[in-house]
Structure 1
Amino acid sequence: MGNREALLAGAKRCLYEKGYGRTTARDIATASGVSLAAIGYHFGSKDALMNTALMDAIGEWGDALGAALADAAYVHATPEERFVASWDRVLETFVEHRGLWVAQFEMMTLLDQAPELREALSGVQKMARLSLAALFQGKDEVPDNETELSRGIFYQAMLAGLAAQWLVAPEQVPSGRDLFRGLQTVSASVLGGA
Structure 2
Amino acid sequence: MGHRERLMAGARRLLAERGYARITSRDLAAAADAPLGTINYHYGSKEALLNAALLEALHEWGDRTVPPPGQAADGGDAERLDGMWSDIIESVTADRPMLVAAVEAYAQAERSSDIRQQIAEALERARPRMARELHDVDAAGDGEGDERTARAIGSVHMALIIGLVHQWLVDPDRAPSAADLTLGLRAIARRLETADG
TM range (shorter): 0.7 to 0.9
SS of residue paired to 1:173: coil
Cα distance change on mapping 1:82 and 1:120 into 2, 3 Å: closer
Number of residue equivalences = 190
**CA apart distance, 1:72:** 7.2
Aligned residue runs from structure 1 range 41-190, under 5 A: 41-66=41-66, 74=74, 77-137=75-135, 143=140, 145-190=147-192
Please say if residues 69 and 136 of structure 1, whose CA atoms lie closer than 8 Å, have aligned partners that are also in contact.
Answer: no
More displaced stretch, 4-13 vs 123-132: 123-132
User: Could you give the per-residue CA deviations for residues 146-178 of structure 1, whole angstroms, max 9, x where no partner exists?
Assistant: 111111011101101101100001222211111
What's the % identity of the aligned pairs?
35
Q: How far did residue 79 of structure 1 move?
A: 3.7
Give 1:71 deviation, angstroms. Answer: 6.0
Structure 1 residue aligned with 2:34: 34
Please tell me the residue identity of whatever aligns with 2:152: S
Alpha carbons 2:72, 2:134 under 8 Å: kept = no
User: How far apart are residue 182 of structure 1 and its match?
Assistant: 0.5
TM-score where L is the length of structure 1: 0.85
**TM-score, normalization by structure 2:** 0.84
- Output the amino acid matched with 2:39: I
Conserved in 1, the CA contact under 8 Å of 2:80 and 2:134? no
Asked whether the 8 Å contact 1:72–1:86 carries over to 2, the reply is no
Tell me how far apart the structure 1 counterparts of residues 162 and 193 of structure 2 sit (CA, whole Å): 24
Query: 1: distance between equivalents of 2:161 and 2:69?
Result: 13
> Structure 1 residues 95, 72: CA separation in 2 closer, same or farther (over 3 Å shift)?
farther
C-alpha contact 2:123 2:158 (8 A) present in aligned 1: no
| Cα deviation, residue 36, structure 1 | 1.5
Unaligned runs of 5+ in 1: none
State the SS of the aligned residue for 2:194: coil
Please tell me the root mean square deviation across aligned C-alpha atoms, in Å.
Answer: 2.4
Residues 68/120 of structure 1: CA separation in 2 closer, same or farther (3 Å cut): closer
Deviations 1:34-55 (A, max 9, x none): 2212112211211111111122
Alignment CA distance shift 1:48-1:85 (3 Å): closer
Amino acid corresponding to residue 169 of structure 1 in structure 2? D
Change over 3 Å in CA distance of 1:29–1:160 after alignment to 2: same
Matched residue SS, 1:192: helix
Shift of 1:67: 5.3
